[in-house]
Structure formats: C-alpha cells, structure tokens
Structure 1
C-alpha cells in the first residue's frame, strides 16, 4: 500500500475558501443564547433523562464544535430555542412543537435534551439533515417552517 502526501495544493490559499461557502450553506448556526443553553445542559446533566445520555451529550458537543455563530438578530428561518418549528421525519407526516432548553418534558415542546431537538437546533427552513433515532436507525429530518413561539411573540 502506497500513501501519497500532497505537499502543494493546486488552488493555493484559496483552497479553504472553496469549502467555507458550502459549509456555511449546509451547516448549523447557533445564537449565543442557544450555545450557552446547550453548554448549561451539558454542564448540569440536563440530558440525564434522555434514553441515551452519552450519545446525546456527544451529539450536543459535536453541534457546538461544528456550528457557526449566528448574529443576535438571527434570521427568522433559523431554528432557535423558544421558536415554533414544523418538521418532517422521513416516512412520517409533518409535526410541530416549540423547541425548548428545558431538561424536563413539557407537552407540545421538543427538548434540545433529545436527539430530535439536538438535531433541529441551528437548522434553517428547508434544510435536511440525518437524524439519529434512539433505536440506532438513521432517518432524515427537514425543517418545513419556523415561527416565533406565541409566548415569545407576546413579550
């Protein structure tokens, strides 16, 4: 087996910029509040009630690493904590709920302390990404719509 090392990139210093644009279009964006909320969940064991805390913790840490920062006046198409999100998982119908940083289940809320919520946070409208299920299956989730939550709209 021969290993070839490339010592000179054909595009020079512009090589990295070719991938930054595509990463920005397909990646995740986290607001400062969402980043702090995820760090709080991890620090204070807010994921301990999930079916698989180690897996969820790994996903949340990965989300923190790969996500870019969103401006404080985040796009209305961005899924952030407190927003009302409509999504669809492959092979299922559309569902809706309010994305929540709460570590405890609340009716009508999607917890960031769940594989679904951890996947949805930082996504944008019409973005599709793989969704790891508690049983190990991998599906696809797409964000269909995003609105401010009624609680946040009244404030």
Structure 2
C-alpha cells in the first residue's frame, strides 16, 4: 500500500463513524502521563487560544474516551508527549515536530492543545486517522516516524 492510498478517504464514508469508532478499532493508546496531561490542559483552559476552543476541548475529551491505556513502558512507535513525530497530511508533504503539552506555541513544536496535536497523540507509526481542520475540512494524517526529540536522541 502506498502513502497515496493511505491518504484517501473511503468513498461514501460516514465521517462521524470514523471519529466514533471504539478504541479496539481506532487503535489510540494513551500513557498515564499523556492522559493526565490532557486532563490538565482541559482543566486549565489551554485551548482558549485555539481558533475554536469549544471544538478542541470536545475533541480532547473525545480522545480521552476512545483511547485505551498504553502498556508501560510505551512502545517506541507510539506518539507520546515529548516525542519527535514525522507525519503527512493528505495533499501535503511530510512535516515533523516535537509533540508538547505546553499551551504556548514554540518553533518546531506541535501542541496537543491543537487539532493536529490532539489527533496525533496516541497514534502509532504508519497509522492513519481523520484530521479535522479549523475550517471544518477533514483530511487524513498518517504518522511516518516517531523518535526521541533531537536533544534526547544521544542520551
């Protein structure tokens, strides 16, 4: 299967069903630390600076509901806060950044308090998922690689 095939939505798909499938089908896994981090973001209104805070907050709550607990220690292929993730969004080239629970944007970081970050957390290498955009469009995101952040790679 090519990356191009991974990036296409099935024709006639029920988009709501794509987001509401149970964890056994979606395969999202959160570590205890990531679950606590998302709950902290929600308690402290970290999404208030997002383009659509109510949408992001509901998506984060939904992610908590549909995700299963990750075995500890987490697989090196699991997207967790603090990891460096390379991903591709349908119709675009590959990008990468460090996934962070911080509410403050920083160069090279992907905030969990964003629709992209909230989608990526809990995914695994080569997994694809619908990506809701702030403008209401839905794309597909696929995780291409997961690694320790560059400053921790030598440790």
TM norm structure 1: 0.82
Runs of 5+ consecutive residues of structure 2 not aligned to the other structure? 1-21
Q: Which residue of 2 aligns with 1:42?
A: 42
1:94 aligns with 2:94: yes
Q: Which residue of 2 aligns with 1:61?
A: 61
**Structure 1 SS opposite 2:125:** coil
Q: Which residue of 1 aligns with 2:131?
A: 131
Query: Would the alpha carbon gap of residues 81 and 27 (structure 1) be closer, same or farther in structure 2, given more than 3 Å must change?
Result: same
* Separation in 1, partners of 2:43, 2:26: 28
Q: Deviations over 1:16-51 (max 9, x none)?
A: xxxxxx953632000000000000000011111110
* Separation in 2, partners of 1:101, 1:146: 17
Bigger RCO of structures 1 and 2 (CA < 8 A, at least 6 apart): 2
Q: Deviations over 1:87-118 (max 9, x none)?
A: 00000000000000000101000000000000
Q: Which residue of 2 aligns with 1:10?
A: none
Write out aligned runs for 1:71-110 (5 A): 71-110=71-110
Runs of 5+ consecutive residues of structure 1 not aligned to the other structure? 1-21
* Separation in 2, partners of 1:36, 1:133: 25
TM norm structure 2: 0.82
* Separation in 2, partners of 1:151, 1:24: 34
* Separation in 2, partners of 1:122, 1:141: 13
* Separation in 2, partners of 1:132, 1:76: 26
**In 2, are the aligned partners of 1:83 and 1:148 still within 8 Å (CA)?**
yes
Aligned pairs, number: 134
**Structure 1 SS opposite 2:87:** strand
Alpha-carbon RMSD: 1.4
Q: CA deviation at 1:71?
A: 1.9
